Amino acid sequence: MSDYLIKKYAGLTPYVPGEQPRDRVFIKLNTNESPFPPSPGVAAAVEKEAGNLALYSDPECTDLRAALAAKLGVKAENLLMTNGSDEILYFAFSAFADRERPLVFPDVTYGFYKVLAGLIGVPYTEMPTDETLAVRPEDYAGGRRTVVLANPNAPTGLSLPLSTIGDIVKNNDGVVIVDEAYIAFGGESALPLVEKYDNLIVTRTFSKSRSMAGARLGFAVANEALIRDMNALKYAQNPYNVNRMTAAAGIAAIREDGYYLGNCARIRETREKTAAALTELGFTVLPSDTNFLFIKRHGLDGAGYYAALRDKGILVRHFDTARLKSHVRVTIGTSGQMTRFLEATKEIIKEKEV
Ligand SMILES: *Cc1c(COP(=O)(O)O)cnc(C)c1O
């Protein structure tokens, strides 16, 4: 810390992203990226758009929003495009949460919520998940609060049914943000509720299911008034938040959606096979609606298992907190990668004699 950092940020705890190692080739199952490359049209669109980089990007993302609106069956006015979906969370927390409408989210969820609340300086309450790490819906209904729920949730992979999400939205006086980063892999989307409720924001990302984590593209679907409020923040902060190449990539990806739906189906199939194999090996595997599995095994501590896999060239994610430290989170890769992962796991069980 320099002598110049202002007091407000002295205690800031940053989000710790999963490793992106550069020294060695790993099988990377640690940050929930897609194991498949973007569709062919994406590379072509990016290359073409590179010729226009002298000009600022379109702050309205007109073409991208039109393509996405048509795909989702919503109006362009219901969409806000952002630099990754993390940016929407920033706009939404800033616009809709304060001391009078504090944030609530589960104690086991995406770690970024807490970090962002700290940055913005909004009070938050973490509602305890139950002994199975499931969200308890009754904790989120009632009152004037800003609710944030990842559905399906991370790092557990568990999801709440649409009827439950609907009840939470209906019975809350504040804004409810449903983070659907993983919805392409399972669970029920809250998108049909956007028309019905003026306090619901659904956020999605091209990072996981659309193989575009490096492009940084996310979006919000909400009632027009909420989108206008968040747009005001965007124009105050960074009007050109989505760059030209990313917008072009997004349009191409929407056009080639069939490719991605095929990939998601393969990932779901590989997930179920991997889960069955892990269960066979004595693991407890949470039922997952995502592109990852949250697992633990009696006699195998999370940190040790993580380190042993790393030694064998496989990266997974370990969270060193009281409730999560016995687990690891494993992103579903290609079926070949998962075979390698299962072999390594068998070796580790044998080596450790557990
Ligand atoms: C990965 C992830 C995001 C962020 O995605 P970006 O669009 O890459 O910023 C948001 N929410 C959850 C729950 C995630 O796991």
Domain match, 119 and 211 both: yes
Which residue has a Cα nearest atom 11 of ligand 1? Answer: 181
pLDDT attached to residue 196: 97
**What whole-number distance in Å separates Cα of residue 171 and Cα of residue 185?**
28
Domain match, 280 and 219 both: no
pLDDT tens digit sequence for 285-310: 999 999 999 999 998 999 999 999 99
Task: Using the mean position of ligand 1's atoms as its centre, give its distance from the Cα of residue 112 in Å.
Answer: 9
- Whether the model pTM is above 0.85: yes
Domain match, 24 and 63 both: no
Domain match, 73 and 144 both: yes
Q: Is 116 helix (H, G, I), strand (E, B) or coil?
A: helix
Task: Using the mean position of ligand 1's atoms as its centre, give its distance from the Cα of residue 18 in Å.
Answer: 12
Distances (CA, A) of 111 to 28, 66, 73, 209, 252: 20, 32, 31, 20, 31
Name the band, by pLDDT with cuts 50, 70 and 90, for residue 18: confident
pLDDT attached to residue 111: 93
Kindly tell me if the per-residue pLDDT of 24 is higher than 90: no
Which residue has a Cα nearest atom 5 of ligand 1? Answer: 85
For position 24, which CATH number holds? 3.90.1150.10
Which residue has a Cα nearest atom 12 of ligand 1? Answer: 181
Name the band, by pLDDT with cuts 50, 70 and 90, for residue 17: confident
* 16 vs 223, higher pLDDT: 223
> 2 lies in a domain?
no
pLDDT attached to residue 64: 98
User: Of 169, 221, 224, nearest to 199 (Cα)?
Assistant: 169
Domain match, 233 and 309 both: no
pLDDT tens digit sequence for 26-79: 999 999 999 999 999 999 999 999 999 999 999 999 999 999 999 999 999 999
Distances (CA, A) of 75 to 3, 67, 241, 249: 49, 10, 21, 21
For position 204, which CATH number holds? 3.40.640.10
Q: Is 91 helix (H, G, I), strand (E, B) or coil?
A: helix
User: Strands 79-82 and 218-222, how do they pair?
Assistant: antiparallel
pLDDT attached to residue 285: 98
Kindly tell me if the per-residue pLDDT of 243 is higher than 90: yes
Domain match, 219 and 294 both: no
- For ligand 1, residues with CB inside 6 Å are 32, 84-86, 110, 150, 154, 179, 181, 205, 207, 213, 218
pLDDT tens digit sequence for 93-134: 999 999 999 999 999 999 999 999 999 999 999 999 999 999
Q: Number of folded domains in the chain?
A: 2
The DSSP secondary structure of 144-168, one letter per residue, reads S-EEEEESS-TTT-----HHHHHHH
Task: Using the mean position of ligand 1's atoms as its centre, give its distance from the Cα of residue 252 in Å.
Answer: 21
Kindly tell me if the per-residue pLDDT of 280 is higher than 80: yes
Task: Using the mean position of ligand 1's atoms as its centre, give its distance from the Cα of residue 354 in Å.
Answer: 35
Q: Which residue among 202, 208, 242, 329 has the greatest number of ligand 1 atoms within 8 angstroms of its CB, and so is best to mutate?
A: 208
> 3 lies in a domain?
no
Domain boundary among 235, 255, 275: 255
Which residue has a Cα nearest atom 14 of ligand 1? Answer: 181
E runs forming strands in 103-213: 103-106, 124-127, 146-150, 176-179, 200-205
Name the band, by pLDDT with cuts 50, 70 and 90, for residue 8: confident
**What whole-number distance in Å separates Cα of residue 347 and Cα of residue 186?**
31
Task: Using the mean position of ligand 1's atoms as its centre, give its distance from the Cα of residue 181 in Å.
Answer: 6
Please state at what angle helix 257-280 crosses helix 335-352, rounded to 10 degrees: 20
**What whole-number distance in Å separates Cα of residue 34 and Cα of residue 208?**
6
Domain match, 95 and 240 both: yes
Q: Phi and psi at residue 281, in whole multiples of 5°?
A: -85, 5
Mean pLDDT of the chain, nearest integer: 96
Q: Is 184 helix (H, G, I), strand (E, B) or coil?
A: helix
CB atoms < 10 A from the CB of 323, how many? 13
The DSSP secondary structure of 285-315, one letter per residue, reads E---SSSEEEEEETTB-HHHHHHHHHHTTEE
User: Of 196, 85, 95, nearest to 150 (Cα)?
Assistant: 85
pLDDT tens digit sequence for 147-205: 999 999 999 999 999 999 999 999 999 999 999 999 999 999 999 999 999 999 999 99
The residue-averaged pLDDT of 266-289 equals 98
Residues contacting residue 37 through CB under 8 Å, at least 6 positions apart: 211
